[in-house]
């Protein structure tokens, strides 16, 4: 790895180089974790169709018959509603079902297929069938549909697979076709080079952007910081933060402070990390309060400063509504600081105000702490209380199975994994757990029990 990546990057930039913000293209949502909000389906009929599809949780079960039956019943459906369904399935990470809706939309309904639709389908094909199938689909597209959107989608697939050669070939075609007019392809190539350790390839990308008058956005800066962190180049992190703070047109980005704080913590520079966290805390008054809050909890836990962790919690903890993810984060943070009693109190606080949906993920955080310390009686008592009138998640029993395995209590591991498998339909158990259970049952010589366990896991 090149530990002087940042120095090289900045030395290659013109002395009067200025970063400026630009609008993020829609295509960026195909790679970055900034979700495009799913539009609600506008009619009660379409909502009913949505519910029918949502009810099919097993990815192996096709939803095409549901769509066909909907039309057979005389119901209407328009493209807007189908596009909304695709987005909804993507949000749920049900990529196979999203792809089925996308393909049904054109194969059965003959709606106009745009280049944006093709880009979305390319991404789904990659997710479901692999990069090779996505490439085959891309190659068969008409010239009209081969735009910066579809090229961006296939480039994104190459980056996800960390295929440098393929990504660079796609990028070259985009250059030759005049499609590198936004920061998006450059941003994801920065990510690729950061992940593969090709840090020397990043400065030329930056120079090319400058030469072509392509404005950087917040993702560019985030990716540059991530690259500096990957290259163990703290001076690069500092330079990028300075650029952001000295260029008002960029706008301050709280995630840069979070990334910087994490980088300082990794090298043991606690005081500097705390300075970053102070800057991060100022963002609590803005729209990103929930996300910033969770970052602060996790990062303060890494500093080992329990007092500051509790200060942040007491100042900003959810009040008007129960935010399950924040309680999960606080419980996890306290257990990392070996404050089990504190974690139990936070859990009890959450449970006391849990009047509607019971999110077993909050309990799971406490169970992990119990299992790590061999406190299985406490763990089972907590589950017994929680399951009164409720069905626990497969992950809850999976946590217990893993805990028992790590403490060499294999009979209990088998019992808990069987419970997990019986609950989860579109959930897959840890292969290590499965193998451990199979080896144990084989050693016991219980053929019937082994046969039954194998049947459960296969199903």
With a CB cutoff of 8 Å and minimum separation 6, the contacts of 201 are 189, 193
307: its two tokens: 């007092």
CA distance 200 to 103: 41
In a domain, 257, yes or no: no
Q: How many domains does the chain have?
A: 1
The mean pLDDT value for 173-194 works out to 95
What's the whole-number mean pLDDT along residues 163-187? 96
Cα(437)–Cα(222) distance, integer angstroms: 43
Residue 436 domain-assigned (yes or no): yes
Is residue 433 predicted with pLDDT exceeding 50?
yes
Note the pLDDT tens digit of each residue in 259-301: 999 999 988 899 999 999 998 888 776 655 778 898 999 999 9
State the sign of the Cα–Cα–Cα–Cα dihedral 7, 10, 14, 17: negative
Determine the pLDDT at residue 218: 87
| Least confident window among 24-28, 283-287, 378-382 | 24-28
Q: Of the candidates 205, 290, 295, which has an alpha carbon nearest to the alpha carbon of residue 258?
A: 295
Across 19-33, 80-94, 118-132, least confident range: 19-33
pLDDT at 36 over 50: no
390-432 pLDDT, tens per residue? 888 999 999 999 999 999 999 999 999 999 988 866 677 889 9
Q: Which long-range contacts (CB under 8 A, 24 or more apart) does 274-282 make?
A: 274/303, 274/305, 274/308, 277/303, 277/308, 280/254, 281/312
Domain that holds residue 410: 393-459
Count other Cβ atoms within 10 Å, centred on residue 306. Answer: 16
User: 76 lies in a domain?
Assistant: no
pLDDT of residue 250: 78
Q: Tell me, yes or no, whether 71 lies in a domain.
A: no
Considering the domain boundaries, does residue 431 fall inside one?
yes
Residue 456 domain-assigned (yes or no): yes
| Cα 22 from Cα 239, distance rounded (Å) | 21
Q: Would residue 320 be called left, alpha or beta, if left means φ above 0 and alpha means ψ between -120 and 50 degrees?
A: alpha
Average pLDDT of the residues in 230-254: 86
> What are the C-alpha distances in Å from 28 to residues 129, 169, 200?
22, 20, 24
Q: What is the pLDDT of residue 302?
A: 94
Question: Would 98 be classed as within a structural domain?
Answer: no
Residue 355 lies in a domain: no
Q: What is the pTM of this model?
A: 0.73
CB-based burial, 111-137: b 16+ in 10 Å, e otherwise = eebebbbbbbbbbbbbbbeebeebbeb
């Amino acid at each position: 790895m090149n530990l002087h990546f940042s120095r090289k990057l900045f030395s290659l930039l013109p002395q009067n180089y200025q970063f400026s913000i630009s609008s993020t293209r829609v295509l960026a949502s195909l790679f970055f974790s900034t979700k495009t909000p799913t539009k609600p389906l506008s009619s009660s009929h379409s909502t009913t169709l949505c519910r029918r599809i949502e009810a099919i949780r097993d990815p192996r079960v096709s939803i095409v018959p549901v769509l066909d039956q909907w039309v057979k019943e005389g119901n209407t459906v328009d493209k807007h509603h189908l596009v909304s369904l695709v987005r909804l399935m993507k949000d749920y990470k049900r990529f196979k079902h999203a792809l089925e809706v996308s393909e049904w939309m054109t194969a059965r309904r003959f709606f106009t297929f745009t280049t944006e639709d093709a880009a979305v389908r390319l991404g789904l094909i990659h997710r479901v069938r692999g990069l090779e199938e996505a490439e085959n689909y891309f190659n068969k597209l008409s010239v009209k549909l081969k735009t910066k959107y579809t090229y961006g989608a296939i480039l994104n697939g190459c980056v996800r697979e960390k295929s440098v050669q393929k990504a660079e070939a796609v990028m070259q075609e985009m250059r030759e076709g005049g499609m590198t007019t936004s920061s998006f392809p450059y941003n994801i190539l920065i990510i690729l080079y950061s992940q593969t350790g090709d840090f020397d390839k990043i400065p030329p990308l930056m120079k090319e952007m400058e030469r072509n008058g392509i404005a950087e956005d917040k993702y560019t800066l985030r990716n540059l910081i991530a690259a500096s962190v990957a290259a163990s180049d703290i001076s690069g992190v500092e330079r990028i933060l300075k650029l952001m703070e000295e260029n008002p047109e960029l706008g301050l980005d709280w995630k840069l402070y979070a990334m910087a704080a994490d980088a300082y913590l990794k090298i043991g520079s606690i005081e500097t990390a705390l300075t970053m966290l102070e800057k991060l805390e100022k963002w609590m008054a803005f729209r990103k309060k929930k996300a910033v809050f969770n970052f602060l909890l996790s990062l303060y836990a890494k500093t080992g400063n329990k007092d500051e962790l509790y200060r942040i919690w007491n100042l900003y903890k959810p009040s008007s509504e129960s935010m399950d993810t924040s309680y999960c984060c606080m419980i996890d943070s306290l257990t990392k600081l070996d404050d089990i009693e504190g974690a139990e109190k936070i859990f009890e606080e959450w449970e006391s105000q849990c009047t509607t949906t019971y999110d077993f993920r909050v309990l799971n955080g406490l169970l992990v702490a119990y299992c790590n310390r061999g406190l299985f009686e406490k763990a089972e008592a907590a589950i017994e209380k929680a399951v009164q009138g409720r069905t626990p998640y497969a992950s809850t029993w999976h946590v217990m199975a893993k805990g028992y395995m790590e403490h060499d209590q294999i009979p209990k591991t088998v019992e808990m994994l069987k419970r997990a498998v019986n609950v989860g339909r579109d959930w897959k158990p840890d292969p290590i757990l499965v193998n451990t259970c199979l080896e144990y049952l084989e050693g016991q010589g219980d053929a019937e029990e082994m046969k039954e366990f194998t049947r459960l896991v296969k199903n």
